[in-house]
Amino acid sequence: MSGRNQTAKASAATMLSGIALKKFQRPCTRPLRTAAMLAITRVSTAAERPLRLFGPDARVDGEAAVFSACDRLRRALPHFVVRELAPMISWLERERRMDSKLPKPMPTEAGIVAFHGRCEAFYPADAVNASVAQQRQWYDALCAAFDASSPAGLTRQDELLAGRIRVRRYRPAQIATETQVFYIHGGGFVVGSLDSHDAICAELAHGTGAEFVAIEYRLAPEHIWPAALEDCYAVLEALLAEGRPLVVAGDSAGGNLAAGVALKAKAVGLSGIVGQVLIYPLLGGDLASGSFVEMAEAPGLSTADVAYYRGILQAPPDELFAHPLKAGDFAGLPPAYISAAHFDPLRDDARQYAARLIEAGVDVTFREEPQMIHAWLRARHMSPGAREGFAHLVHGLARLVGSA
Amino acid sequence: MSGRNQTAKASAATMLSGIALKKFQRPCTRPLRTAAMLAITRVSTAAERPLRLFGPDARVDGEAAVFSACDRLRRALPHFVVRELAPMISWLERERRMDSKLPKPMPTEAGIVAFHGRCEAFYPADAVNASVAQQRQWYDALCAAFDASSPAGLTRQDELLAGRIRVRRYRPAQIATETQVFYIHGGGFVVGSLDSHDAICAELAHGTGAEFVAIEYRLAPEHIWPAALEDCYAVLEALLAEGRPLVVAGDSAGGNLAAGVALKAKAVGLSGIVGQVLIYPLLGGDLASGSFVEMAEAPGLSTADVAYYRGILQAPPDELFAHPLKAGDFAGLPPAYISAAHFDPLRDDARQYAARLIEAGVDVTFREEPQMIHAWLRARHMSPGAREGFAHLVHGLARLVGSA
């Protein structure tokens, strides 16, 4: 690549950082914000600069500046950036026209609608300005607010694995299988902890009669790619060294990491994973198609949020373990239980990964919860659809660990 | 279309009928026979003439005549046939060169290998010259030879539905669900009956706690497309009129018909099907790719056999209910349990249909039995892999009828 191109690309990234970091006065609707976020993501990708422009405090709140900046870039930069920008500007303009006509997807089940309202009300009005540490505390508290009491007789033990990584072991009162479950929590690679998913792990362990091991992996933005995957893989190796069969499981960003460690284990020839459970996982699909468009403004998670979380992790686009849908060969991966939520921009990531696994001959049980939104696991005690989805999840996991 | 093209196409079909109906002296290996059969299938499709050339007594036993006929056709016929023939001739020639190098797929599990040997030994050496009626008797006897005794307390009752179609109702001793199962037997649209799959239906009804209704639909070559689908659809309507939820199920050609009636019910807005179970189904995939090539010479069913069975049914290529993989829209189809056998040319039909359903948001459990061959259901009492596959099938069906 020529020096001139590199300079131009760096300029593009810098200018867009300026846009993203500035807070604009005129508010815009979420679809337009989504479109603007995606446009910036694409330009940043074209400029081969990771998305440093997206920090927790750097949301884009106005599209006018994006148009203006695109226009400046179009005049100032060489052809390779113009080529990327032209379709984006057309798209932004179409989005602006369509704005009032766009559907606002929303399930009809009262329980999950109430759950969403309760989540939205949890954060203070100025939450977006809070520190990352504060966001994590709120997230743990939010998660705990939806939990039921711990299953009778279940015990927990915290320890370190691989010398430095905190894990929590769950031992249910009735153990029905020697297979262990390695659980990787969600939270967009940014929030979540041993506490945030504590009750979920406890109830799944109780329901399946399997011992669970949950991990506290390093989070972004302090630790970018591949820190989280490295932590998960180190724990995977430690658990497999115990000589018992293992199922890897995770939700959302944790589903991404679970699929990632399964792919890496296959690539390096590490055996012993007998199943993978991916719950509304983030798998690297195209943000400009399918459910990322249809469900761009879904309650609980927007496509702009997905772009934000992807950006903050800074995983290079060609890292297959970070973007499992881009892996070319799925043959020989462990049998899977894959759960999608219908009202979730990540819905098609789940559908497509399930389809790719099956085409490669992998056993898959796929379920799409028809009334659910992203992160519905937390709604299992207040929504009938979430309760049913959780029962299916317990059953699917029990099949993989061999206790059903 | 011009009259001249129609005449030319009719000539092509007639000449190829001549090739197929004649018995050639020089025997050739099965891969070459497969290639020749496929070539003829393609020419016939190009000629828009259904495959009358394939009768039970009309197997192609030599490739030389195919080459010779292709050559004559190439000289005699207009461009549209030449265009179809050229790649086929290249392919035949490549197949002839590759003949000795082709893999002969074979599972390693002793139980299923013994099952295959027992099936092969069942027919007399000159079986291929027997009448269709004789073939059907042998098939029923073969099926019965592998059955165990009937489950305790299960009752059967034969009756007519839709005024003319024979069905058999199975009522297990313990009924665990109101959902009924409509079972459609396999046998390549040519053989099979209420008797051939009697024990399979009885054991599945017993295992799932569901009442079963099996059908005796009209068979080819006496009754070509759409007779079988019409019979199945008429019974489907009669059963749904009873007001109970229904799961449709079938193996091999019966899996084709089960998928077909589910598609038709969706197309006409007939509701009440709550699940579909497709066991090594025939779904209209491309005979020149994937498992149809890899498993062309699999034990128990070859790709040539598939071409033969497709041909004898004479379903037009554009009939979506006969070729479910060609359907453009799978959204809203009933949840599915789909079972593939690894050593089966139809394997990829199952994989691809499962993938298409999931991409459309349909809940699917897909299993590929790693050591099984086509028609392994009959091996359930003599092969560990078939026993395990049958247990999974019972479980998958029980989930769909709501008894597990």
- Express each pLDDT in A183-216 by its tens digit: 999 999 999 999 999 999 999 999 999 999 999 9
A248 three-class SS? strand
pLDDT at B308: 82
Q: Which of A278, A344, A358 to mutate to test the interface with B (most CBs of B within 10 A)?
A: A358
pLDDT at B397: 98
Q: Mean pLDDT throughout B94-115?
A: 77
Closest Cβ–Cβ partner in A359, A368, A399 for B361: A368
User: In which band, very low, low, confident or very high, does the pLDDT at B95 lie, cut at 50, 70 and 90?
Assistant: low
Q: Do residue A361 and residue B352 have CB atoms under 8 angstroms apart?
A: no
Q: Mean pLDDT throughout A375-402?
A: 98
Which pairing describes strands A165-171 and A155-161: parallel, antiparallel, or unpaired? antiparallel
Burial string for B344-363 (b: 16+ CB within 10 Å, else e) reads bbbbbbbbbbbbbbbbbbbb
Q: Do residue A359 and residue B363 have CB atoms under 8 angstroms apart?
A: no
pLDDT at B20: 37
B341: nearest CA in chain A? A361
Q: Do residue B351 and residue A368 have CB atoms under 8 angstroms apart?
A: no
Q: Do residue B358 and residue A356 have CB atoms under 8 angstroms apart?
A: no
A291 has a chain B CB within 8 A of its CB: no
Q: Mean pLDDT throughout A163-175?
A: 97
- Residue A34 or A296, more confident: A296
- Residue B323: pLDDT over 60: yes
A342: nearest CA in chain B? B361
B356: chain A residues, CB-CB within 8 Å: 355
Contact A157, A167 (CB under 8 A): no
Looking at domain A139-301+314-401, does it have CATH number 3.30.70.1140? no
Q: Do residue B363 and residue A358 have CB atoms under 8 angstroms apart?
A: no
What residue ranges of chain A are covered by domains with CATH 3.40.50.1820? 139-301+314-401
Which of A17, A252, A302, A403 does the annotation list as catalytic? A252
What is the distance in angstroms between the Cα of B284 and the nearest Cα belonging to chain A? Answer: 16
- Residue B48: pLDDT over 60: no
A365: chain B residues, CB-CB within 8 Å: 364-366
DSSP A147: -
Q: Mean pLDDT throughout A306-324?
A: 91
309-348 of B, contacting A, C-beta below 8 A: 340, 342, 347
3-state secondary structure chain B: CCHHHHHHHHHHHHHHHHHHHCCCCCCCCHHHHHHHHHHHHHHHHHCCCCCCCCCCCCCCCCCHHHHHHHHHHHHHCCHHHHHHHHHHHHHHHHHHHHHHHCCCCCCCCHHHHHHHHHHHHHCCCCHHHCCHHHHHHHHHHHHHHCCCCCCCCCEEEEEEECCCEEEEEEECCCCCCCCEEEEECCCCCCCCCCCCCHHHHHHHHHHHCCEEEEECCCCCCCCCCCHHHHHHHHHHHHHHCCCCCEEEEEECHHHHHHHHHHHHHHHHCCCCEEEEEEECCCCCCCCCCCHHHHCCCCCCCCHHHHHHHHHHHCCCCCCCCCCHHHCCCCCCCCCEEEEEEEECCCHHHHHHHHHHHHHCCCCEEEEEEEEEECCHHHHCCCCHHHHHHHHHHHHHHHHHHCCC
- Express each pLDDT in B105-116 by its tens digit: 999 999 999 999
What is the distance in angstroms between the Cα of A292 and the nearest Cα belonging to chain B? Answer: 14
- Residue B189: pLDDT over 50: yes
Told to judge if B252 belongs to the known catalytic residues of this protein, a careful annotator would answer: yes
pLDDT at A15: 43
Size of interface A-B (CB pairs under 8 A): 53
Contact B192, B138 (CB under 8 A): no
Q: Do residue B363 and residue A364 have CB atoms under 8 angstroms apart?
A: no
B352: nearest CA in chain A? A359
Distance between start and end Cα atoms, chain B? 56
B362: chain A residues, CB-CB within 8 Å: 368
Q: Which of B358, B393, B395, B400 to mutate to test the interface with A (most CBs of A within 10 A)?
A: B358
- Residue A14: pLDDT over 50: no
ipTM of the complex: 0.80
- pTM, to two decimals: 0.81
Distance CA B392, CA B339 (A): 9
pLDDT at B202: 98
Closest Cβ–Cβ partner in A355, A363, A399 for B359: A355
Span of A127-141, A220-234, A321-335, B63-77 with lowest mean pLDDT: B63-77
Span of A41-45, A147-151, B193-197 with lowest mean pLDDT: A41-45
B347: chain A residues, CB-CB within 8 Å: 361
- Residue B331: pLDDT over 70: yes
- Residue B192: pLDDT over 80: yes
Q: Do residue A358 and residue B365 have CB atoms under 8 angstroms apart?
A: no
Closest Cβ–Cβ partner in A361, A366, A399 for B368: A361
Q: Do residue A363 and residue B367 have CB atoms under 8 angstroms apart?
A: yes
Closest Cβ–Cβ partner in A351, A361, A365 for B361: A351
Q: Do residue A359 and residue B368 have CB atoms under 8 angstroms apart?
A: no
User: In which band, very low, low, confident or very high, does the pLDDT at A158 lie, cut at 50, 70 and 90?
Assistant: very high
- Residue A7: pLDDT over 90: no
A331: chain B residues, CB-CB within 8 Å: none
Neighbours of B162 (CB within 10 A): 16
Which pairing describes strands B180-184 and A211-215: parallel, antiparallel, or unpaired? unpaired
pLDDT at B66: 52
Which of B252, B291, B383, B403 does the annotation list as catalytic? B252
Q: Do residue A351 and residue B359 have CB atoms under 8 angstroms apart?
A: yes
Q: Do residue B361 and residue A355 have CB atoms under 8 angstroms apart?
A: no
Q: Mean pLDDT throughout B267-274?
A: 97
pLDDT at B329: 95
Q: Do residue A366 and residue B367 have CB atoms under 8 angstroms apart?
A: no
A354: chain B residues, CB-CB within 8 Å: 355, 358, 364
- Residue B4: pLDDT over 50: no
Strands (E), A51-191: 155-161, 165-171, 180-184
341-400 of B, contacting A, C-beta below 8 A: 342, 347, 351-352, 354-356, 358-359, 361-368, 395, 399
What is the distance in angstroms between the Cα of A395 and the nearest Cα belonging to chain B? Answer: 10
- Express each pLDDT in B364-382 by its tens digit: 999 999 999 999 999 999 9
